[in-house]
Amino acid sequence: FDIPNVSHQRRTALSAQGGQQPTDSGSEGSNVIEESEGTLADFMSCALDDFLIRAGGNRQAACAAAIGGLCGGLLNVPGMPGLEISGVRVISWKAPLFGGAVGLYCVQLPEGDFYGDSVRKACRAIVHSWDAMVQ
């Protein structure tokens, strides 16, 4: 088994250190070598942490997805105007999914943005209300 564009010394050093060898991305003519799965897991973990920091925490992110899903679900109410994006009608199961995605997007907008601040403020109020009700 041979990995293109990786020298024999590099492969031996990786094996000796106990690390995994990079794998070819599978595309022909490409000189891009992907890193090991551990690196992808680290990247995803950092991305999730950054997401949660921008959102204001786990509960605010979950609240934004839930509020977005509920608002998206309103597109299924008879008589509501339809929404079409790139030729795809947002109806049925796609409406709450799309709403949740929009909620998660809005909570990621930077401080000072009207929509981002509004979603974060609403989620913060809902989370505080939930805490008061549960205690």
Angle made by CA atoms 101, 103, 105, in degrees to the nearest 5: 70
- Percent of the chain exceeding pLDDT 90 equals 50
In this predicted structure, the answer to whether residue 57 has a pLDDT above a threshold of 60 is: yes
Question: Could you tell me the maximum CA-CA distance found in the chain, to the nearest angstrom?
Answer: 68
**What is the pLDDT, as a whole number, of residue 8?**
44
Q: Determine the Cα–Cα distance for residues 26 and 42; give it in Å rounded to an integer.
A: 22
Under DSSP, the state recorded for 91 is -
Q: Determine the Cα–Cα distance for residues 90 and 45; give it in Å rounded to an integer.
A: 31
Check if the beta carbon of residue 36 is closer than 8 Å to that of residue 20. yes
Tell me the pLDDT band of 20, cut-offs 50, 70 and 90: very low
> pTM higher than 0.75 for the full model?
no
- Helix (H, G, I), strand (E, B), or coil: what is residue 24? strand
